[in-house]
Structures are given as C-alpha cells and as structure tokens.
Homo-oligomer: A and B are copies of this chain.
Amino acid sequence: MEKKRAPFAKWMGNSNEITRLFLKAGQIPDMINLAGGLPEASVYPASELADIAKQVINKNPEETLGYCPIEGLPTLRDAIAKKFSKGNLKLSRENILIVTGAMQSLDLVGKVLLDDGARIAVQDPTYLGALDAWRPRHPTLVPMNIHGHNFNPASLLENTQFAYTVPNFSNPTGSLVSKECRQQLVDTSNDCGTWLVEDDPYGVLYYDSDPIPSMLELSADENNDCYEGNVIYMGTLSKEIAPGLRLGWVIAAPEMINALATAKQGSDLCTSGLSQQITLEAINNGLMEKILPNILAIYKSRRDGLCAAMEAYLTPYFTWEKPVGGMFVWAIAKDPKLNTDILLEYALDHGVCVTPSSVFDPNGEYRKAIRINFTHNPLETLEQGIKRLAKATEQLKL
C-alpha cells in the first residue's frame, strides 16, 4: 500500500528523463563523457591551494571558520570590485555580492525578481542550470534568437522581469554575442527598465581574439563611482581556479545587491569563510593570471583536436561552427528527421555520452542538435569519443 503523505510542490512534477539517463551513464565502465561542462582536473593549482588553505586558517581562524557577513568578506568584495573596474566601469564594495557558486546567483535572481508565472526573455537555446534554477517559479520563458538577422529586443524585453544571456561562448552553443547585440540589449534595457542577467563563466576562455566588452562595461556611466546600471553580472571561480570551492560573485547596482543579500540570508546565510579567504589570497597572489596561459593552451588544442575529429568522422551527419572560446561545440543534424534524444540512447550503447538539445530548449522540444564538451578529456579520448558517436549515428540512421 502506498503511504499517505503530503505531496511535493507542483514544479517537482516536471521531471527530466534525460537527467536520469546521464546518471545511469555515469555508472557504465569505459564511458567517454563528452556531455558535462567539466574543467580538466590537472589544471587545478592543488599544491598552491593546499598551502593557502592551511595558511589562511592559521592566520585568521575566527574570520575563516566563523560566520561571514551575508554579502561576503569586505576585503574580498573590495578585491573583486578592483579586479573588474575598467575604463568607464567604476565599482565599489556595494556593487559586489559573494555567492556560493554561480548557480546560486541564478537561484537568487529568481527569488528576488520572479513572482509565479513572471516573464523572462532567454537566449535560445538556454543553459540548463538556469532553467533548473527558475523552474520553482513557473516562469513564462520568452526565447530570444539573439543571432538572428533582425534581432530586435524591444518587443521581447517589454514587461519582462529580466533578459538572460551567456554572451561569451554560450552554454550550449559556444557562440559569441556580438558587441552590436550587447549594445542593443543595453539600450533597450535602459528604455524599458528590464534587468539584464549577464552570466559569464567563460569570459576568460577566449582562444583566438581579444574579449568583447561585457554588457556590464557597456552599461556603465563614467560619471558614477558606483555602478548603477541594469546589468546583473555573474562571475565564478570554477573555470579559473577550481569548482570545488563553490565561489562566485554578482556585480550589480547596490539596490540589486541588497535585494540579493536578503534572499541569500534565507538561502544559506553566507558563503564559506574558508573559500572566501582562499579566493582573496589567490587574487592577491595573482594565482589566476599565473595558471591561465596553461589552461588556454590545453583547451585551445583540445578544441582544435575535437573539431578535426568531427571533420573526419561527423561531416556526413552534422554541421557546426568552430567556437572561438568556451568549452563546447554545438552540432546540428543535417537530416531533419534525426532525433538527438534517441541518438543519446544509441551513443550510450556505444560508450559515449553527449548532451541532446532538448534539455536546453525553453520549451523542451528542439531535438536536432547535440552539445559536445572539449575541455575535460585528452585528445585521444576526444577522437575516440567522436568515432563512437559517428558509429552510433550511422546505426541510428540504418
């Protein structure tokens, strides 16, 4: 007999079969995982971080092991403000909130801006984690085709709480939003008062060119010593140092930082003092700058290796653009009848895992593409994975 129990909240019913498939995939031996968004573990500066961890606890036991202010350690907020101030963009401590990983930024923004059913304009396709974060609010998602010829954000942003983009090497497509489109979004936001959520985990991972200015920079007023614009910028330590510290930051107008801090108080009180002290020391020591060239060299060569293998084995089945940065290649099936949810099942049988496009579609319907990660595996494994994927695709089409 089924036990009588109070039911779960309604959003919990929107279950996701794909996630269960992934979980199963993790158990299969010899599986090549091109599905995740994981860094290469050997780039973590482990011995430096081990020394820093010991040192900060011994030096500041009370600040490191006690509760921190909700908004974050003042010294770390100042360091982030300094690091991101650039040209017209002048940041102060009041512009910075320290969070427990970038995913928490997405959760907090949902808490402070979304009543049930509120409108969000989302870059289409959209990062799966953002959809996860906002699902409990039952939002109305308005897809934005940001790379379309006649991109016109005005009609999309009107009466919308915020617009969500990953301008640098979108997750999942790896594409870069042009400076013109960024400026358009900023101008439209200024007109209609819609907040702009700029999620930027991959901002340092440019392999071929100089960075495009962020919307945060484009929306700054040179006359202000404190940022007062509509952009809510989200950064993270996960791609530059290590994800296991669970540390990120939000940069926004003080009004928004105060609201997010109220939401954070009811979410996890404060971010780990240990992670914050380690981060502060890493910034002060220039640890990020020291390890970045090695990260970029490894990831660039893997991107090139993956694209060469795709060229050799996937050309009959897929088209794609080589990304100029980030962690992913987005491959679109040439055959309009190919269903990538079904391809995933075949791929798992062939010992390779990729992410099907359906999980990134705000409507859950687009089944023509796959996301392939190139940062987590060495070159030989990438090539082997693509060979397996080609065989799976061939078999599916028979």
Contacts and interface: CB of A to CB of B under 8 A. Distances in A.
A262 B364 CA distance: 18
A162 interface: yes
Contact of A57 (B4, B46, B104, B269): B46
A263 B112 CA distance: 17
Nearest to A99: B268
A67 B133 CA distance: 18
B268 A100 contact: yes
B67 A38 contact: yes
A11 B124 CA distance: 29
A268 B103 contact: yes
A349 interface: no
A57 B65 contact: no
B246 A271 contact: yes
Nearest to A101: B268
A47 B101 CA distance: 27
Interface in A223-276: 228, 230, 238, 242-246, 259, 262-263, 265-275
A50 interface: yes
Interface in A24-50: 38-39, 41, 44, 46-47, 49-50
A6 B244 contact: no
A208 to B, nearest CB: 27
A49 B44 CA distance: 21
Interface in A186-245: 192-195, 228, 230, 238, 242-245
Given A111-B9, A112-B8, A259-B12, A67 B244 contact: yes
Contact of A244 (B4, B65, B268): B65
A100 to B, nearest CB: 5
Given A8-B112, A112-B8, A246-B272, A133 B267 contact: yes
Given A49-B57, A244-B274, A41 B12 contact: no
Contacts of A274: 53, 244-245, 274-275
Contacts of A112: 8-9, 12
Contacts of A51: 54
Interface string A100-140: 11011011000111111010000000000100111110000
Nearest to A133: B266
Nearest to A244: B273
A246 B114 contact: no
A303 to B, nearest CB: 21
Contacts of A63: 244
Nearest to A238: B67
A136 B111 contact: yes
Contacts of A272: 100, 244-246, 272, 275
4 closest A-B pairs by beta carbon, nearest first, are A244-B273, A46-B61, A132-B266, A65-B242
22 contacts: A6-B195, A10-B115, A38-B67, A41-B61, A46-B58, A46-B64, A64-B244, A65-B245, A67-B243, A67-B244, A68-B244, A100-B100, A103-B268, A107-B267, A132-B266, A133-B266, A134-B266, A245-B272, A246-B271, A268-B268, A274-B274, A275-B275
Given A63-B244, A134-B266, 11 more contacts: A4-B193, A6-B162, A6-B193, A9-B114, A9-B118, A103-B268, A133-B266, A135-B266, A244-B274, A245-B274, A275-B275
